C-alpha cells in the first residue's frame, strides 16, 4: 500500500502549484493511515488472544485501507470533484466501519469485561466519526468543500492516538504470566 506523489511537469514553481490538490489529498490520506496504524497498534496491545475471527476482521480492515492510494489519486487529480470526493468519503466510512468490526470482534473474543471493552466504553467518538463520514460522502454532490472539511475535521479528532486504550493499558494490573489454562 503506497501513496505516491509524482514529480511535476517542468522545472518551475507553476508545475509544482498545479500539484497542490494532489499533495493535499496525499497529506490527508497519509494522516489517516498514520491514525489507523497508531490506533491499531494500541488496540492490539489491549488484546490478549487472537482468534480466527479477529484475523479475518483485521484483513477486512486492511482491504479498505489498501484502497486509500486509489481514492487519494482520484480525488487529487480531479481537483475534489463531487464523485471522487464522495468515493473518498465512502472509503473512509468503510475503513472506519471495518475498524469498528475489528474492535467488536476482539471484544467478543476477549469477553465483555475485557480491557478493550472497558477502554472504548460506548465509543461515542468512533460512532460519531462513522456518521460524519456518511454525511460527508452524501454532501459531496452538493457541497464538495463541506465534505472535505468534514474529512479533515474527523482526522483532527483522531490525530492523537486513542488515549482511552493507552490509559486502560497503563491502569491494567500487571501479573506475571502463569501456566496456560488446561
Which one has a higher pLDDT value, 10 or 63? 63
Backbone angles phi, psi at 162, to 5 degrees: -55, 105
* Residue range of the domain that includes 61: 20-161
Instruction: Report if residue 86 sits inside a domain.
Output: yes
Residue 69 lies in a domain: yes
- Domain assignment of residue 12, yes or no: no
Domain assignment present for 73 = yes
The C-alpha atoms of residue 90 and residue 97 are separated, in whole angstroms, by 10
In a domain, 111, yes or no: yes
Residue 58 domain-assigned (yes or no): yes
pLDDT digits (tens, 9 = 90+) for 22-76: 889 999 999 999 999 999 998 998 898 899 999 999 999 999 999 999 999 999 9
> Does residue 182 belong to any structural domain of this protein?
no
Supply the DSSP string of 44-92, one letter for each residue.
HHT-S---HHHHHHHHHHHHHHHTHHHHHHHHHHTTT-HHHHHHHHHHH
Average pLDDT of the chain to the nearest whole number: 89
Confidence of residue 168 (pLDDT cuts 50, 70, 90): confident
Query: With the C-alpha atoms ordered 138, 91, 16, 78, is the resulting torsion angle positive or negative?
Result: negative
Q: How far from 85 is each of 27, 104, 143, 149, CA to CA, in Å?
A: 15, 29, 10, 11
Q: Quick one: cell of 72? A: 487519494
| pLDDT tens figures, 145-165 | 999 999 999 999 998 766 778
Q: Are 133 and 89 spatial neighbours (Cβ–Cβ below 8 Å)?
A: yes
Residue at 121 is within a domain: yes
Question: How many domains would you assign to the chain?
Answer: 1
pTM for the model stands at: 0.87
Amino acid at each position: 500500500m503506497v501513496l505516491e506523489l509524482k514529480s511535476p511537469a517542468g522545472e518551475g514553481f507553476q508545475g509544482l502549484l498545479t500539484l497542490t490538490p494532489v499533495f493535499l489529498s496525499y497529506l490527508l490520506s497519509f494522516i489517516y493511515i498514520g491514525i489507523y496504524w497508531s490506533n491499531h497498534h494500541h488496540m492490539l496491545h489491549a488484546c490478549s488472544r487472537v482468534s480466527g475471527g479477529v484475523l479475518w476482521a483485521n484483513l477486512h480492515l486492511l482491504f479498505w485501507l489498501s484502497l486509500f492510494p486509489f481514492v487519494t489519486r482520484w480525488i487529487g487529480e480531479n481537483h475534489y470533484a463531487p464523485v471522487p470526493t464522495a468515493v473518498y468519503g465512502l472509503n473512509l466510512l468503510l475503513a472506519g466501519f471495518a475498524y469498528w468490526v475489528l474492535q467488536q470482534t476482539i471484544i467478543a473474543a476477549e469477553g465483555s469485561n475485557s480491557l478493550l471493552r472497558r477502554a472504548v466504553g460506548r465509543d461515542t467518538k468512533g460512532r460519531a466519526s462513522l456518521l460524519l463520514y456518511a454525511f460527508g460522502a452524501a454532501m459531496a454532490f452538493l457541497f464538495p468543500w463541506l465534505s472535505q472539511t468534514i474529512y479533515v475535521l474527523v482526522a483532527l479528532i483522531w490525530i492523537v492516538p486513542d488515549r482511552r486504550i493507552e490509559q486502560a493499558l497503563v491502569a491494567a494490573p500487571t501479573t506475571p504470566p502463569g501456566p496456560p489454562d488446561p
